[in-house]
Amino acid sequence: MDALLGTGPRRARGCLGAAGPRSSGRAARTPAAPWARFSAWLECVCVVTFDLELGQALELVYPNDFRLTDKEKSSICYLSFPDSHSGCLGDTQFSFRMRQCGGQRSPWHADDRHYNSRAPVALQREPAHYFGYVYFRQVKDRSVKRGYFQKSLVLVSRLPFVRLFQALLSLIAPEYFDKLAPCLEAVCSEIDQWPAPAPGQTLNLPVMGVVVQVRIPSRVDKSESSPPKQCDQENLLPAPMVLASVHELDLFRCFRPVLTHVQTLWELVLLGEPLLVLAPSPDVSSEMVLALTSCLQPLRFCCDFRPYFTIHDSEFKEFTTRTQAPPNVVLGVTNPFFIKTLQHWPHILRVGEPKMSGDLPKQVKLKKPSRLKTLDTKPGLYTAYTAHLHRDKALLKRLLKGVQKKRPSDVQSALLRRHLLELTQSFIIPLEHYMASLMPLQKSITPWKTPPQIRPFSQDDFLRSLEHAGPQLTCILKGDWLGLYRWVDCGCSLSLPWSPGSAPRPCLPVPRVSPVALPVRLQAQPRGPACLSPGSALWPCLSVPRVSPGALPVNPHRRFFKSPHFDGWYRQRHKEMALKLEALHLEAICEAVREAGGWGGPEHGGGGHRPRAVGGLADSRPHLTLQNIETWMKDKSEVEVVDLVLKLREKLVRCLPALSQHH
């Protein structure tokens, strides 16, 4: 089996069974390489079976030249089977997320950049983690020594398309369990003919005689808009199986037992608090965790999350250690052993067996952590956290009325998703407005001086701005909105969690989270005492290092300014503003040349028109001609000419990549 699966580094995919040169990651892959289209959707397909002597064992990896490390193979084996406490009989679908071993082996591949630049932040390819989508079957079989047939078919991908891959597994897995390898080979060949994922386009994906029609959302789609109508169905025979979404779960079904605490859970997720979800089965666990991580859209979820986690995972010690504070992770488990191991975690959600009756299930109760029992823990949200916002009773009444009237679950989910979207937008809009106010005045941008710096973020100034521009203006929900923003632990003053001499930490690229435009002319804001400036030695990292629990004050609920979500949002917004500033400076330089020598009118062959704006950035490349530069140079010294050339070169290098994305 090791000869089939391989234990060394992965190599570029070639024809099945063919020996090819080894390489690390996918750097050697070219668009024309075999399995290139397959790998645009999936990394590989795995089959995990139960061996009486070995336990869970990896039976097959397809394509058979895709290499997994020993640690990755072990993780897939354990995460693809429910643990002994679940007792899953029949067919069960769930998902997991695991870390790539040996570092990031495909850093910003060209295909990733093209796709990620157009996809919403929640649907971008994972750079350092794999998603596993599992179809597990356990049925009685007298021909097997153990008395049960136990096998899992797993799709491994870096795309978070849970709805699409679950639908794909429901077509593939039953057929595979009957016909085995030949069926799997045919399916993989069909996937290798699919078009590449293209945000904003309707795609027809044929597999096993069925055409699955999907539309991957685009970054420019409006969050509140309904999915566009599917097209080109009349030319497809048989009629396509249309998926309304490639990633959205039935949010109402996932949150049915916790509807009365949805806002409390939203706050915990927003603040990046450690949260343990203990569920009766992997499918309930994975869906609850994925539903929680989707609550913050359009804000990117920047914390770690594991839809299904076992005691055999290679990161078990990292997550369960008591020598440091619990990590910022939403962890889904099914083994009650975690209640004892992670009883020091501040928030534990215990959910029971799902009930399929038409009535709303009994809601879990809010309980103190001291009532948490190691054995026979009853369903409930065990936390000492007190929600800042009041419960939206009107929403609960509408949802309950929908249950009584047997309203479709997708409509109920739309109501719940709209409510969570409004909460997140109301929270993030004041931050967007304050960040926009840090932009320098356009009149302060001159062609012969270095552009002014973006003013530093001052928490004190921002909190003062909430009095007249806070979430209360856009959200009718009452409560202590200010408490969600504060960087306060038991009344301590703001302090920076790193030293000026510390080494910078790597940052994950966090794409744009809001379409709020940056105004050009803005009033100056005073610089507060607690500032974060990219020009200072403190800029390299905003994240908070882990500290031992003994060093933390009692009930240390971290606020949003200390969460990874603020870290990621602030870095990306500052990056976008810096790029805007560079573009404005480039435009000022070009304007100075235009005023001195003209834009190259008809007599110079230039057409005599001003720069064309592309996506808010001035595209001046076609208008800088040799004639108007020579005219400008007539009365300039050599130092001024060299300075202009160097500035143009520097600005073009910085701005052209951004401009090219808009074409």
Domain residue spans of the chain? 36-197, 251-411
In this predicted model, what pLDDT tens digit does every residue of 110-160 receive, in sequence order?
568 888 888 988 899 988 899 999 999 988 877 777 778 889 999 999 999
Is the confidence at residue 17, as pLDDT, over 70?
no
Q: Judge contact between 132 and 98, C-beta under 8 A.
A: yes
Is the confidence at residue 170, as pLDDT, over 70?
yes
Q: 618 CB contacts (<8 Å, ≥6 apart)?
A: 583, 584, 586, 587, 590, 611, 612
C-alpha–C-alpha distance, residues 320 and 468, integer Å: 44
Supply angle C-alpha 313, 315, 317, rounded to 5: 105
In this predicted model, what pLDDT tens digit does every residue of 600-616 receive, in sequence order?
444 444 444 444 333 33
Residue 117, number of CB atoms within 10 A of its CB? 12
According to the model, what pLDDT value does residue 597 have?
53
Look up residue 334 and give its amino acid.
T
According to the model, what pLDDT value does residue 519 have?
36
In this predicted model, what pLDDT tens digit does every residue of 427-477 receive, in sequence order?
989 999 999 999 988 888 887 777 888 999 888 888 888 888 888 777 778
Beta bridge partners of 62: 45
Q: In what order do the strands lie in the sheet with 304-306?
A: 304-306, 329-333, 275-278, 347-350, 380-383, 365-367
Mean pLDDT along residues 414-436: 91
251-411 CATH choice from 3.10.20, 1.10.10, 3.40.50, 3.90.220: 3.40.50
In this predicted model, what pLDDT tens digit does every residue of 358-409 receive, in sequence order?
667 778 788 877 767 665 678 889 998 888 888 888 998 999 898 888 889 8
Give the pair of three-digit tokens for residue 595.
């005023």
In this predicted model, what pLDDT tens digit does every residue of 478-511 receive, in sequence order?
888 887 787 433 333 333 333 333 333 333 333 3
Mean pLDDT of the chain, nearest integer = 75
**Sign of the torsion angle spanned by Cα atoms 428, 264, 123, 320:** positive
Fold of 36-197: Beta-Lactamase (3.30.450)
Beta bridge partners of 211: 206
In this predicted model, what pLDDT tens digit does every residue of 216-269 receive, in sequence order?
999 888 754 444 444 544 455 567 889 999 999 999 999 998 998 999 999 999
Is the confidence at residue 543, as pLDDT, over 60?
no
Q: 28 CB contacts (<8 Å, ≥6 apart)?
A: 11, 12, 21
pTM of the entire predicted model: 0.76
According to the model, what pLDDT value does residue 297 have?
87
